[in-house]
Amino acid sequence: MWTLAEKKLTSRLLLGTAQYPSLQVMRESIIASGSDIVTIALKRQITSRESDNGFWDTIKSLPCHVLPNTAGCRTAADAVTTAELAREIFETRWIKLEVIGDEYNLQPDPLELLRAASILVKKGFEVFPYCTDDLVLCQRLRDSGCRILMPGAAPIGSGRGIMNPYALETLRKRLPDITLIIDAGIGKPSHACQVMEMGFDAVLLNTAVSLAKHPAGMAEAFRCAVQAGRMAYEAGMIEARDFAYPSTPLIDTPFWHSEGVRE
């Protein structure tokens, strides 16, 4: 069990709801992941094969908290308006704040993001900002009232894994009291395990599961990876060394002769 924004959760894996081949596959994958939280974009595009009612009925049938997001927003004003609509529709003050500044790598606009976060915090939202791994930006977001930060490991949907481990390790070290959730760029279960070993509190992903050959199987693999990474972090891992160190100390006399030597 762990606590996120006053809610007791059993899973440290958050899952998105886009790009699945069908609603049934999405439902099976979310169940297999064990996730307590799913993200939903208010501006979500419904395909011709799906209906609004079918999607919402599927979401409501799951034992999950909904984390609406402002995906598709380009300005602070647009993000604030979207967040206020989401609060009314989903009846939650949680909002995953996305304010994209570049179309090529979908990197957040730091200025508009900080502006929107400051406004939403004052309006009573629990803001989950999708941000870069820049320490100064993250400190400013914290100072604005954000208790949860969601830095990306790599560009959204790229599956490249951790591109700047130094920056992420620095965030964890310098912001020990902030909940840090890796959001974006995770492609393999090993990537998720690695960031959990670094001490991050949770992982949010979508594409790595929804576009997998077998989404439900991949969701279960990520579930195990996140659990393993957290267990390793809590158990305390040994530090890497630049030299060999024998796991069994050497002595001059084999153990089966030790009694004779003592006599």
Binding site annotation covers 41?
no
- pLDDT beyond 80 at 254: no
Beta bridge partners of 4: 7
Integer angstrom CA distances of residue 138 from 114, 131, 189: 9, 8, 26
Q: What is the mean pLDDT of residues 45-61?
A: 65
- pLDDT beyond 90 at 224: yes
- pLDDT beyond 70 at 174: yes
Between 10-14, 29-33, 106-110, the lowest mean confidence (pLDDT) is in 106-110
Looking at the domain assignment, is residue 73 inside a domain? yes
Looking at the domain assignment, is residue 262 inside a domain? no
Looking at the domain assignment, is residue 259 inside a domain? no
Binding site annotation covers 206?
yes
Total count of domains within the chain: 1
User: Domain with 226 in it: what CATH number?
Assistant: 3.20.20.70
Tell which residue, 102, 130, 97, 135, has the closest CA to residue 116.
97
Looking at the domain assignment, is residue 200 inside a domain? yes
Residues 6 or more apart whose Cβ sits within 8 Å of residue 91: none
Q: What is the mean pLDDT of residues 221-250?
A: 87
Looking at the domain assignment, is residue 89 inside a domain? yes
Looking at the domain assignment, is residue 248 inside a domain? no
Binding site annotation covers 184?
yes
pLDDT for res 192: 97
Binding site annotation covers 75?
no
Looking at the domain assignment, is residue 250 inside a domain? no
Q: Which of 7, 8, 43, 96 is catalytic?
A: 96
- Integer Cα distance of 62 and 41 in angstroms: 17
- pLDDT beyond 80 at 46: no
The residue segments making up the domain with residue 81 are 2-235
Q: Hey, how many other C-beta atoms are within 10 angstroms of the C-beta on 222?
A: 27
- Catalytic residue flag (residue 43): no
- Integer Cα distance of 142 and 80 in angstroms: 18
Looking at the domain assignment, is residue 188 inside a domain? yes
